[in-house]
Chain A
C-alpha cells in the first residue's frame, strides 16, 4: 500500500531542498552587508523565521487538532524572557537590572562556554532556547489541566486572558529581580553577535541561526503531524466522537497538542528575542496573536507550508515591500502628504481583505506545497478555492 521507495525518494528530495536553502541563507548572510539595500532580505528572513515558526505552531493546534487558542503572544513572551534571563552575561547583568538586584545569576552560554569553549557557548544558547520552550509548555500544561476538559471555546477565552495577565505579571515591580519589571531585557546572547571563527575568517551566523532554529522546529512539527500522534490529532479535529470510540484518549491528546504547540511558541519567542536583541513584555500584545492567526488563515488552516508562506508574505509586505508607503514614495511615485504616515497599514489591510475574499481557504487550503505543485501540473488548478 505504501510505496516505500517513492516515499524515501520524496523524503530525500525534501531534505536536499532544505539543505540547499540553509546553505543559501548562510551564503547570503556573508555577502549582504548591513549597509546594502538588499539587507532588508536578511531582516525579512530573520523575522520571517520567528513568525513562520509561531504560525506553524499555532496551526498545529488550531488547524490540525481543532483547538482554538488565542494565547500565542503570551507563550512567546514566556519564551523570550526565559531565553533572555538565562543568557545575560554576568558582567552585563547589573547594567541590565538597573533598578533591581538580579535574582537569576547564571548564564548558560557563559558557564558552558567557560568550560567547553565556543562549542559550549552554542550549547548554552541551545539549552536556553529549549528551556524557553519547556517553560512555555509548562504554563500550557497548567492552563490545560482545567480548561481542556471544557468545550473548546473556553480554551480561546482562557488563553486570551492568560496572555493578557502574563504580560501584566511580567511587568510587575515585585518580580523585578527576575523580569526587570517594565524595563526591557538586553545584552543577552543575540543574533548580531553569533559568529563562527574558522582560523582567520569569521563566518556571520546572524541570519543563519534563527532560520536554522525555525527550520528544525518546523521539520519536527511536520514529522509530528505525519506521525500516528499527528493523525490522532487530526482524527480528533475531524470527529471527536469517533476518535474517542477508537480508543484515543481525548484529554491526553489535546494536552499533548496544546503543550507541543506552546513549546514551539516559546522557542519562537526565544528566537524573536535573539533577533530583536531585546525582550520587553509590552511588545507581546494580543495584536501579535492576531497577526499570527492572520498568517495561518492567509496560508491555509491545516497546511504547514501555507503557514510558512503566509508568515513570509506577511513579513515581507509589512517590513519591506510596503515600507515606501509611509515615507510617501512607492514604485517611484511621490504621493501627497495625506498618504504618508500610517498609509502602509491601510494598503496592507486592503490587500489582506482581497486575499481573504479570493482565497477563502487561504493560499494553500489544507494542502502542502509538494502536493499543490503536483496537482497544479495535473489539473492546472492553483488554489484551494471552491
Chain B
C-alpha cells in the first residue's frame, strides 16, 4: 500500500496545481464566452444589418476554424515580429501582442466558446415566440425592456441544456493549452509521464478527473434547470409521451 501513498505524494502537488489551472481556465473561458456570446446573439437577432454582419463574421470564424489554429494564431501569430514592429510604429507597446501563455489561452478559449454560446443563445432567443415580444411592446415596453424582462428570462432557461453541453466540452478542450506550455492538468500529467514513463496509470487517472468535472457540471446544471423550471410547462412536455 505504501507505494500508492508515495505515488500520490509524488503526483498530487503537480496534478493539483494543474487541476487548479484547468478549473480557472474553464471558468474564465466560460465567463468570457458568456459575456461575448449573449450580446452577439442579441445582435444577431435584434441588431442593425451592419452589426448583424459583424456578429455573424465573428461566429463563423471561430466556429469554422480549429481551436488549435486559433490558439496558435493568438499566441504565436500575434507575436510575429512584423506585427509587433507595426504596432510600435503606430505607438502601441509591442507587449500588447506578445501574450503570456495563460492570457493567450483565456483569449482563445473565451473567443471560441463565445462563438458557440452565441449560437445556443440565438437559438434560444428565437425559440421564444414572437407573440411574447409583440405583447410586451403592445403594453408600452421599449424593445430593450421587452428583451430584458420578457424574452431573456425565457430564452436563458431554454439555453440551459445546450449551455451545459458547451461547459462540458470546454472543460475537456482546455487540455489543448499544454501545447503553448500552460501548466494545466494535462500539461502537468505529461510532465510526470515524460519523467516516469507511467502513462498506463496517468492517462486513465487524468481522464477520470476530467470525467468527474464533466459529471459535476452536468449535475449542477441539472439542478439549476430544475430550480428555474416554469411550473405548468414541464407538465405539457411530459404529457406528450
A binds B: no
Residues on A close to B: CB < 8 A?
none
Residues on B close to A: CB < 8 A?
none
